[in-house]
């Protein structure tokens, strides 16, 4: 036990505090000492498999996706319960986007380059010819296609969700239509290692840890602390929300505390222990 001094971080309600003359705080090993509670938060629930988004990020791949959508959607109209009008509208949306992304956008980029060349010639040409500014002529729509209202891709995405909610939807149909993203593989647990920093703040020591992009595959982090009291590392917390503040009362004298952590899936530790992070406390 040790005497309580003004400003040493002692909090009212601390079960190890004994107020009197003198006031003292119980320490580990003292009769009646209450160890800090290590909260164990419920593990996250949900599927372990994480998938890429089904709609490609690159324009060239988007065009391929849209062409496939337009070519195959009608094939599955009956099992998915789609009306002819739904299929027709969705195909029109897809064909319009193919035209915009492939033909029209490509033509605008070619015209833009021609405009840049014309602007340069207007400024620094050899002076032997009259300046001619290029005029943009959009490519003709393919026969039978037409412009549609704005928001075509939003309507396609909405229909995709309707399709996935259909009783007739199967993984085989989803894969053929391209509306199921490819499965992502989980992290390599043999090398996965938490990385975090520790800083002093007004309420204690802030342990700034993250999932490192693997939240879909992990449940929590197990944090341990060595308070330089000769007992080595002991349990601090099982935390499921990135960022944790250690509010344990700091000592009066300057000393170093060390922290380390390891990820967990359910009841099992996975990966490697982090590097030990130390911080000067007290004083």
Q: What is the pLDDT of residue 43?
A: 43
Give the position of tokens 């290692």: 193
What is the Cα Rg of the chain in Å? 32
Contact 228, 257 (CB under 8 A): yes
Reported as type and span, the H/E element at residue 17 is strand 17-18
Q: What is the pLDDT of residue 231?
A: 93
Q: Do you know the residue count of the chain?
A: 283
d(CA 259, CA 234) in angstroms, rounded, equals: 9
Give the position of tokens 């309580």: 4
Contact 91, 70 (CB under 8 A): yes
d(CA 98, CA 103) in angstroms, rounded, equals: 8
pTM above 0.75, yes or no: no
Q: What is the pLDDT of residue 174?
A: 94
Q: What is the pLDDT of residue 178?
A: 94
d(CA 31, CA 196) in angstroms, rounded, equals: 35
Q: What is the pLDDT of residue 128?
A: 94
Contact 24, 3 (CB under 8 A): yes
Q: What is the pLDDT of residue 242?
A: 94
- List per-block mean pLDDT (blocks of 10 residues) for the chain, which spans 283 residues: 60 65 68 57 45 81 96 96 96 97 93 93 94 94 94 95 94 94 78 96 94 88 95 93 93 95 92 96 87
d(CA 128, CA 149) in angstroms, rounded, equals: 47
Contact 211, 44 (CB under 8 A): no
d(CA 118, CA 243) in angstroms, rounded, equals: 56
Whether the upstream peptide bond of residue 201 has omega within 30° of 0, thus cis, is no
Cα 131 off chain centre by: 52
Name, in order, each residue with C-beta under 8 angstroms of 38's C-beta and a sequence gap of 6 or more: 235, 236, 237, 238
* Nearest one of 256, 270, 193 to 225, comparing CA atoms: 256
Residue 209 falls in which region: left (phi positive, over 0), alpha (psi -120 to 50) or beta? beta
């Amino acid at each position: 036990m040790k005497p309580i001094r003004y400003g040493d971080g002692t909090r009212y309600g601390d079960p190890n505090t004994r107020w009197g003359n003198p006031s003292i705080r119980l320490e580990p090993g003292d009769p009646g000492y209450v160890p800090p509670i290590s909260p164990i938060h419920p593990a996250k629930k949900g599927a372990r498999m994480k998938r890429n988004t089904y709609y490609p990020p690159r324009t060239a791949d988007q065009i391929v996706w849209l062409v496939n959508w337009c070519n195959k959607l009608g094939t599955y109209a009956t099992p998915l319960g789609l009306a002819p009008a739904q299929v027709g509208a969705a195909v029109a949306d897809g064909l319009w986007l193919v035209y915009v992304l492939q033909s029209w956008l490509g033509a605008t980029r070619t015209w833009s380059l021609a405009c840049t060349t014309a602007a340069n010639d207007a400024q620094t040409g050899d002076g032997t010819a009259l300046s001619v500014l290029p005029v943009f002529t959009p490519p003709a729509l393919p026969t039978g296609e037409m412009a549609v209202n704005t928001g075509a891709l939003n309507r396609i995405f909405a229909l995709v969700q309707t399709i996935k909610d259909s009783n007739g939807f199967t993984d085989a149909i989803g894969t053929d239509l391209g509306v199921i993203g490819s499965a992502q593989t989980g992290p390599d647990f043999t090398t996965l290692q938490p990385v975090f920093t520790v800083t002093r703040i007004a309420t204690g020591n802030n342990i700034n840890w993250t999932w490192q992009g693997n939240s879909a595959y992990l449940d929590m982090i197990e944090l341990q602390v060595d308070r330089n009291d000769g007992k080595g590392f002991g349990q601090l917390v099982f935390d499921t929300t990135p960022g944790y503040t250690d509010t344990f009362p700091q000592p009066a004298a300057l000393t170093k505390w060390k922290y380390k952590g390891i990820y967990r899936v359910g009841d099992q530790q996975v990966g490697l222990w982090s590097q030990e992070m130390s911080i000067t406390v007290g004083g």
